[in-house]
Structure 1
């Protein structure tokens, strides 16, 4: 099979297209023929080996990458199954968040992390869902505990996670305000935001409004300023922050969590990579997608051979929605 391999940290140029042996599924694994994948900050953080603090605490290899094939989202067809697999058969259309391996023509995925692809989505659309929508689901449903009538603010509403967070908050009955740049105001409004704040014109932490839940994806304001916009029992859910070589965005998230024991609001962080309920969450997302309550927003699509270019584009941080990759036959 063909795969883009990461042997050392660096720019997208370090991703090398190579011919590798097709993997063999283990007893509890499914071999998926990848038809589409997507690119996200998770991938280029692994590619860059940043922030450096992640190397020191063991989440990244200290000198070289632990993960050699990036690509945390996958949509495709079942090619083969292990002897213990009972839910899937060759030819089934599936999607998954294997956390690695999507930048290849084939990937092995544990059966517990695989779900049937939403029937109303193409492979490209389905590949835009797992990590971004899964993170948004954790932030909105689990950590934010959004209920009908809640007022929810999504800071970073036009990105991959943000576009899903806006839609999910609406699906759970909330009144949603999205924060984004001028050029994405119409997009955020079109996916269901009741109100949109253009951060180039207004500081959402100083407009006097109060919210029950703040999903902070952009990490553009200090935690103390974010808590100021919450009700006394509101929830601040930190998802990400501004990128940096040494500490950020981890530093921003840690600083938000550090204040938790000392404030009245609930403070937490949504990290889908460590979630053990991947399959169940994918099934929930499938139900919401097939019911027409949420849908992926795709900015650009690239062919498989241009994955380094796609990563470079996504790394600029200006992509509204998702960047997807089509893997041809």
Structure 2
């Protein structure tokens, strides 16, 4: 099978298309013939070496943490998924490949009336949004939430899930992303390039940090006592959280088909719509990663086989 691999940390030029053996599923795994995967920031951090102290990897390494496609083979202990099913899934790595073996626990049937490209673009965002808002955030109706970076691939899904849960959503974006997040239901929109978000949001029940850096640091005072600051991009500050009397947590979303199933029901009821910025071929993986690194995209880049 064909797969994108790298043998050393570096820039996108280390990504190489190789011909390797097709894997066989273990007892609890399914073998998926991949139709689409997407570019996630985690893939880029893995490739650059930014995560090597936290997520050690072995070379050669196949990146990729989501996939959609058809199940071609199942392990002896698999009971929920069958051969021929069209599925989408999250994985720790390995989806930049024609075939991938993924634990059944993180695999779900694709939503109705959703293409395989769209399903791939939904997998990580649905899983992550649930992990933030439901699992860690316990978000309730009428709570005030600020989402930083709401026009990105994960941000658009976090925004829509927050609205589906009944929250009052304030969201940041720039350029064409402003109209996008308005169309997705944001109650208030902040242009982070021309507006100081600290002057437009306070007494928040929750901040979802999808940006990091100074943006996160400036957000602690905006959360009311007992509220939450949740980030998927950088560790939170225990000292600042204690100073402001809030709960701050770095979220590492663990894959689970139940999270995908929860999001899938909202997709089927048109409460969540996926946003795809661009569709490219797997042979363009390096260029696609560079586009994501450059920023400014609204939605996900999908890679097709």
Q: If the length of structure 1 is used for normalisation, what is the TM-score?
A: 0.88
Whole-angstrom distance in 2 between the partners of 1:321 and 1:270 = 21
CA contact (8 A) 2:146 2:201 kept: no
Query: Which residue in the other structure is 1:325 paired with?
Result: 303
Query: Which residue in the other structure is 2:246 paired with?
Result: 265
Query: Which residue in the other structure is 2:102 paired with?
Result: 109
Whole-angstrom distance in 1 between the partners of 2:201 and 2:24 = 57
In structure 2, the CA distance between the partners of 1:141 and 1:12, relative to structure 1 (3 Å rule), is same
Query: Which residue in the other structure is 1:26 paired with?
Result: 26
Consecutive unaligned residues of structure 2, counting only runs of 5 or more, are none
**Are 2:55 and 1:59 equivalent residues in the alignment?**
yes
Deviation string for 1:101-132 (max 9, x for gaps)? 11000000111121111122100000011222
CA shift, 1:221, in A, is 2.8
The structure 2 residue matched to 1:146, chosen from 139, 145, 148, is 139
CA contact (8 A) 1:212 1:234 kept: yes
Taking the TM superposition and a 5 Å limit, the aligned residue runs for 1:229-268 are: 229-240=222-233, 250=234, 253-254=235-236, 256-268=237-249
DSSP 3-state at the match of 1:271: coil
Query: Which residue in the other structure is 1:246 paired with?
Result: none
Whole-angstrom distance in 2 between the partners of 1:286 and 1:209 = 32
Taking the TM superposition and a 5 Å limit, the aligned residue runs for 1:209-220 are: 209-220=202-213
CA shift, 1:261, in A, is 4.2
Query: Which residue in the other structure is 2:148 paired with?
Result: 155
DSSP 3-state at the match of 1:17: strand
Whole-angstrom distance in 1 between the partners of 2:94 and 2:142 = 40
CA shift, 1:260, in A, is 3.4
Whole-angstrom distance in 1 between the partners of 2:246 and 2:82 = 47
Q: More displaced, 66-75 or 39-48?
A: 66-75
Consecutive unaligned residues of structure 1, counting only runs of 5 or more, are 241-249
Deviation string for 1:210-229 (max 9, x for gaps)? 22111111124355521211
DSSP 3-state at the match of 2:245: coil
Whole-angstrom distance in 1 between the partners of 2:222 and 2:201 = 7
Deviation string for 1:88-110 (max 9, x for gaps)? 22210011101211100000011
CA shift, 1:48, in A, is 0.7
Whole-angstrom distance in 1 between the partners of 2:82 and 2:153 = 31
DSSP 3-state at the match of 1:259: helix
Query: Which residue in the other structure is 1:126 paired with?
Result: 119
Whole-angstrom distance in 2 between the partners of 1:279 and 1:46 = 24
Whole-angstrom distance in 2 between the partners of 1:261 and 1:207 = 23
**Are 2:153 and 1:172 equivalent residues in the alignment?**
no
Deviation string for 1:285-326 (max 9, x for gaps)? 111111211121111110122112111111112211111111
CA contact (8 A) 2:66 2:89 kept: yes
In structure 2, the CA distance between the partners of 1:205 and 1:67, relative to structure 1 (3 Å rule), is farther
The structure 2 residue matched to 1:309, chosen from 287, 291, 294, is 287
CA shift, 1:183, in A, is 3.1
Query: Which residue in the other structure is 1:10 paired with?
Result: 10
CA contact (8 A) 1:35 1:105 kept: yes
Aligned residues: 305
In structure 2, the CA distance between the partners of 1:187 and 1:173, relative to structure 1 (3 Å rule), is same
Runs of 4+ in 1 over 2 A off after TM superposition: 206-210, 220-225, 256-263
